[in-house]
Structures are given as C-alpha cells and as structure tokens.
Amino acid sequence: MKVFMFYGVVGGFLEIDRSPNSSGKNRYAGYDATGARRDMSPNHQPMEGIGVPPDVVNAARTIALNTPTPFLRVDFLVGAERSYLGEITPHPGNTYAGDLFEDIDRELGEMFLDAEARLFIDLYNGKKFDLYEEVYQPGPVYP
C-alpha cells in the first residue's frame, strides 16, 4: 500500500498486488483521500483490492507531519493482522508524464504546492521537528 502524503494530508492510496497472475503484470487498486475506490492511471491493470487499513492512514499521517518536507510517499506491507512500514521516500520512482490521469496529476500537484506553503508557514513560526532530528541524526557538514 503506497500512501501519497502532503505534509499530513492524504493525497491518495495505491494498493499493489505483485503476486503472479495470468498476465504476468502487477494489479492495482487506487483510492482517494477518503479511501473510496478511484482509478489513478491508464497504465494500471485494475483489481478489486482490500481497501485502506486505518493503521496505515494513522502511521502515514504521523510520519508526514513530523518530517520537514512537503511530500512523502509512505509504503506499507499489509498483512492479515497488521501493516508494516516498508519504505519512506520523498521522490517516488516510476511516475512519469502520462502515467497518472491528468486530473489526478493536477490535483496532486496542487496538493504539493499547498503542503509546501503550510510547511513554510510552520517553519517560519518556529515549528521544531524533534522526532525527525532524533531519528535522522544530522551528519557532518563538509565545506
């Protein structure tokens, strides 16, 4: 389950089934911010999907609000009993021009600009990212 986060605001979800099937391709189920089914790409082979687990939403939101960047994709492996954090990235791979439906691409771009503005306001007002700094110790600065 890939969660597209914009500084604490969910932009959408993408569930991927990577198990082998007759076509040999991954299958996808996209969801909007509320968890309602929404196809995201003309290039995805659709599937029914299992929906968005609540623990995924809460964990992704916590991570995004505690990270000083306007966008993160937070990935989870969803199991029968619970979900497990898989990857956090500010630069999602495999997204190219034409890969998303145009309306979704525009919507996510607007969400990025809004998130960037909210982040800058928080930074200007002195918000500290203590949890982020605790987890990601700054390394040495090289001249």
The string of pLDDT tens digits covering residues 113-131 is 999 999 999 999 999 999 8
Q: What CATH number has the domain spanning 2-135?
A: 3.30.470
- Which burial class, exposed, middle or buried, applies to 87 when counting CB atoms under 10 A from its CB (0-12, 13-18, 19+)? exposed
pTM of this structure: 0.88
Rg (alpha carbons) of the chain, rounded to whole number:
16
Q: Write phi, then psi, for 49 (nearest 5 degrees).
A: 85, 165
- Residue 82 CB partners (closer than 8 Å, separation 6+): 55
Of residues 89 and 43, the one with the higher pLDDT is: 89
- Of the chain, the end-to-end C-alpha distance in Å amounts to 40
